């Protein structure tokens, strides 16, 4: 089982601590996906030995326009990112990410309105771009906000199901304290309508496909 996380230097939790916590919780690997603004220096990770599970070095390109997004994707590819994700949420950026053939479109419905629709779901399926169903908004909210988050995720789930769009499920953790045990993550996924087979595929088969082309570069941390 895999999860997609943020770590130092973007957050207070080091990659080593994140990996140790994930391994203890029962994960097989984690994908680091710190945000990368194309105007800034390319992100790097301090990954030591000794945490027991593979850590895949990715980035999540965050841009305020289509052209900066394309530049960020190009830099991420040149930088050797194992997984190139795009910080989604606005319709124009979601579309640009899919057209750029990135690995992962992260949280595509984070913006206002219906920024991920049937057209984009179909295009993502045709391009093989995976879509993230981030459970962060459900895990870290309450009341009406949580109800709305469940509804939005269920809407996205129906779209990716209809068109066969690959998707991943994550806790989108920014600290080791935000990681969730697989059993808890599975329960929350079930709440939005993801079945057992879909959950297993979204946390294992699809993440493995995203990183398999760069396996030669993975940092395997021996325990």
- Give a yes or no: residue 217 inside a domain: no
What confidence tens digit (pLDDT) does each residue in 22-55 have?
999 999 999 999 999 999 988 888 887 776 899 9
Task: List the Cα angle 56/115/119 in 5-degree steps.
Answer: 90
Q: What are phi and psi of 25, to 5 degrees?
A: -75, -15
- Give a yes or no: residue 219 inside a domain: no
- Give a yes or no: residue 222 inside a domain: no
- Give a yes or no: residue 87 inside a domain: yes
Arithmetic mean of pLDDT, 81-108? 96
Answer whether 0.85 is exceeded by the pTM: yes
Type and span of the H or E element at 132: strand 130-134
What CATH number is given to the structural domain containing 101? 3.20.20.140
Q: How confident is the model at residue 219 (pLDDT cuts 50, 70, 90)?
A: very low
Beta-strand runs (E) in 13-165: 29-36, 54-61, 83-87, 104-106, 130-134
Question: Nearest to residue 56, comparing CAs of 94, 90, 103, 89?
Answer: 103
Give the tokens for residue 38: 């194309």
- Give a yes or no: residue 218 inside a domain: no
What confidence tens digit (pLDDT) does each residue in 133-177 have?
999 999 999 999 999 999 999 999 999 999 999 999 999 999 999
Question: What residue numbers bound the domain in which 120 lies?
Answer: 2-211
**Total number of domains constituting the chain:** 1
Give the tokens for residue 193: 């309508």
Predicted local distance difference test score (pLDDT) of residue 111: 54
- Give a yes or no: residue 100 inside a domain: yes
- Give a yes or no: residue 221 inside a domain: no
């Amino acid at each position: 089982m895999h999860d997609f996380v943020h770590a130092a230097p973007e957050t207070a939790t080091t990659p080593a601590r994140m990996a140790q916590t994930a391994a203890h919780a029962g994960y097989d690997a984690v994908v680091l996906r710190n945000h990368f603004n194309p105007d800034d220096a390319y992100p790097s990770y301090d990954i030591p030995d000794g945490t027991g599970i593979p850590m895949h070095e990715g980035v999540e390109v965050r841009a305020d326009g289509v052209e900066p997004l394309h530049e960020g994707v190009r830099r991420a590819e040149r930088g050797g990112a194992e997984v190139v994700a795009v910080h989604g949420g606005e319709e124009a950026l979601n579309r640009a990410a899919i057209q750029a053939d990135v690995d992962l479109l992260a949280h595509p419905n984070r913006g206002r309105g219906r920024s991920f629709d049937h057209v984009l779901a179909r295009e993502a399926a045709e391009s093989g771009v995976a879509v993230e169903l981030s459970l962060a908004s459900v895990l870290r909210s309450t009341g009406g906000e949580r109800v709305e988050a469940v509804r939005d995720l269920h809407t996205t789930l129906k779209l990716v199901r209809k068109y066969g769009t690959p998707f991943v499920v994550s806790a989108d953790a920014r600290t080791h304290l935000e990681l969730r045990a697989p059993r808890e993550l599975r329960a929350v996924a079930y709440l939005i309508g993801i079945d057992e087979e879909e959950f297993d595929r979204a946390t294992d088969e699809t993440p493995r496909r995203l990183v398999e082309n760069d396996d030669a570069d993975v940092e395997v941390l021996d325990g």
